[in-house]
């Protein structure tokens, strides 16, 4: 978003810009006075009051009664509204499904996990439905669906070792009858990286590589604060080559075994790191915690091969990382869709989001 609207903008464009820039000042969740908002946006206090009135009518901003404090009349404050909405994150794996939920403030809670019958769509559908018992699905605005494999731009699962039975289909459509709300399909490793960026080991870091070890190793990249997907949506998808061999907790049954495995993949990871120059490498995936004691040596080995070595850390998240990331990505999409609706900022309601999200 630019700091100022275009000089030749028409009144409608100026209004839309004013609404977006005011909303941006409230995303910290804290109460703001009109004078504070005017100083932060460069708008006049009168313009801020007008915009707050419009945003209040659309459900974005709530006025707070001022608390008495000393002499004089205290200034009224305004705060970003928090509708009674639910966002879901579903990690659809070949052997298990994991589900989390969040409110629009981004507070994530675990819903549950359960094994699924491999290759059985109906059985998986039944497991998802069972996990969602107790979730107020009528209040779910959107669901982030994390899947493993190469994703097309339209949400088609082009290829997947874990979900081969869903290849050439759109998982969001396959499970539409049990996934509530608008559905955003995400790559599971990228989703896990987004969770690390939002609440894990990569919080606040803008250039990150996630090396996900396990039965289906993969890499995900966050570059300048944005997930990198590549020209065809398959960046980091390694299922057709042996850059990273499959791993399990057996590789770390003894410290020397873990060290030997990491030493074996050092040249490949050093090459990948050298191409994109991240400031942080996060080692994640199912066996990540058992490799953690060997990561200092791994980091030193990478440093010996790189001009600007990154910090190397273990994932700070558990098995719900991909579900959490998908949930947070879906939440981010809610605000992106509403703030950039064709006719300006849309109403912060479930109906407003679903209408704006339709193609």
- In a domain, residue 151? The reply is yes
Report the C-alpha gap between 179 and 159 in whole angstroms: 22
Q: What CATH number does residue 185 fall under?
A: 3.30.420.40
- In a domain, residue 328? The reply is yes
- In a domain, residue 23? The reply is yes
Query: Across-strand partners of 159?
Result: 150
- Confidence band (pLDDT; 50, 70, 90) for 240? confident
Q: What one-character-per-residue DSSP string does 249-300 give?
A: GGGGSSHHHHHHHHHHHHHHHHHHHHHH--SEEEEEETTHHHHGGGHHHHHH
pLDDT of 2 > 80? The answer is no
What is the model's pLDDT at position 236? 85
pTM over cut 0.75: yes
Q: Do 269 and 129 have their domain in common?
A: no
Report the C-alpha gap between 322 and 90 in whole angstroms: 8
Q: Do 72 and 112 have their domain in common?
A: no
Q: Provide mean pLDDT across the span 99-122.
A: 95
- In a domain, residue 310? The reply is yes
Q: Do 135 and 163 have their domain in common?
A: yes
- Confidence band (pLDDT; 50, 70, 90) for 184? very high
- In a domain, residue 198? The reply is no
Q: Do 236 and 277 have their domain in common?
A: yes
Give Cβ neighbours of residue 97 (< 8 Å, ≥ 6 apart). Answer: 90, 91, 113, 114, 116, 124, 127, 128, 131
Q: Do 148 and 227 have their domain in common?
A: no
- In a domain, residue 68? The reply is yes
- In a domain, residue 70? The reply is yes
Q: Provide mean pLDDT across the span 31-47.
A: 94
Pairing of strands 182-187, 140-147: parallel
Higher pLDDT, 19 or 359: 19
Q: Do 98 and 185 have their domain in common?
A: yes
Which tokens is 68 given? 């008495």
Q: What CATH number does residue 29 fall under?
A: 1.10.10.10
Q: Do 158 and 212 have their domain in common?
A: no
The 10 Å Cβ neighbour count of residue 208 is 25
Q: Do 236 and 290 have their domain in common?
A: yes
- The sign of the torsion formed by the CA atoms of 244, 221, 237, 271 equals negative
- Tell me how many domains the chain contains: 3
What is the model's pLDDT at position 1? 42
| Average model confidence (pLDDT) across the chain | 90
Q: What is the pLDDT of residues 310-344, one digit of tens each?
A: 999 999 999 999 999 999 999 999 999 999 988 88
Pairing of strands 32-33, 77-80: antiparallel
Report the C-alpha gap between 320 and 129 in whole angstroms: 18
Tell me which residue range forms the domain holding 343.
86-191+320-357
pLDDT of 177 > 80? The answer is yes
Q: What is the pLDDT of residues 267-278, one digit of tens each?
A: 999 999 999 999
Q: Do 102 and 167 have their domain in common?
A: yes
Report the C-alpha gap between 303 and 111 in whole angstroms: 40
The 10 Å Cβ neighbour count of residue 295 is 18
CA distances from 283 to 99, 253, 331 (A): 22, 18, 25
Tokens 């289909």, residue? 169
**Last residue in a domain, options 80, 100, 117:** 80
The 10 Å Cβ neighbour count of residue 72 is 7
Least confident span in 41-50, 102-111, 119-128, 234-243: 234-243
């Amino acid at each position: 978003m630019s700091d100022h609207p275009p000089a030749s903008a028409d009144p409608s464009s100026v209004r839309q810009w004013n609404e977006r820039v005011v909303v941006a000042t409230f995303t910290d969740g804290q109460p703001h006075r009109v004078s504070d908002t005017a100083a932060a946006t460069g708008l006049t206090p009168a313009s801020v009051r007008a915009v707050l009135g419009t945003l209040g009518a659309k459900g974005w901003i709530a006025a707070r009664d001022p608390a008495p404090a000393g002499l004089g009349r205290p200034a009224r404050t305004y705060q970003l509204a928090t509708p009674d909405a639910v966002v879901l994150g579903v990690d659809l794996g070949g052997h298990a499904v994991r589900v989390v939920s969040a409110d629009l403030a981004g507070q994530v809670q675990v819903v549950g996990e359960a094994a699924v019958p491999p290759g059985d769509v109906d059985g998986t559908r039944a497991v998802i439905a069972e996990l969602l018992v107790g979730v107020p699905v009528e209040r779910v605005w959107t669901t982030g669906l994390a899947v493993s494999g190469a994703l097309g731009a339209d949400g088609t699962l082009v290829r997947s070792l874990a979900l081969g039975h869903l290849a050439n289909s759109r998982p969001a459509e396959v499970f539409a009858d049990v996934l509530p709300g608008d559905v955003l399909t995400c790559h599971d490793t990228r989703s896990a990286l987004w969770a690390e960026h939002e609440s894990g080991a990569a919080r606040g870091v803008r250039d990150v590589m996630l090396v996900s070890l396990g039965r289906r190793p993969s890499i995900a990249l966050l570059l300048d604060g944005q997930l990198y997907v590549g020209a065809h949506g398959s960046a980091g998808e390694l299922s057709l080559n042996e850059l990273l061999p499959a791993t399990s907790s057996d590789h770390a049954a003894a410290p020397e075994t873990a060290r030997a495995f990491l030493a074996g993949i050092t040249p490949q990871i050093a090459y990948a790191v050298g191409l994109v120059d991240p400031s942080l490498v996060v080692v994640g995936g199912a066996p990540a915690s058992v490799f953690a004691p060997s990561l200092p040596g791994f980091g030193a080995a990478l440093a010996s091969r790189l001009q600007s070595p990154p910090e190397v850390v273990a994932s700070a998240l558990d098995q719900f990382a991909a579900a959490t990331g998908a949930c947070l990505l879906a939440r981010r999409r809610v605000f992106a869709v509403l703030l950039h609706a064709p006719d300006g900022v849309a109403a912060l309601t479930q109906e407003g989001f679903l209408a704006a999200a339709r193609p």
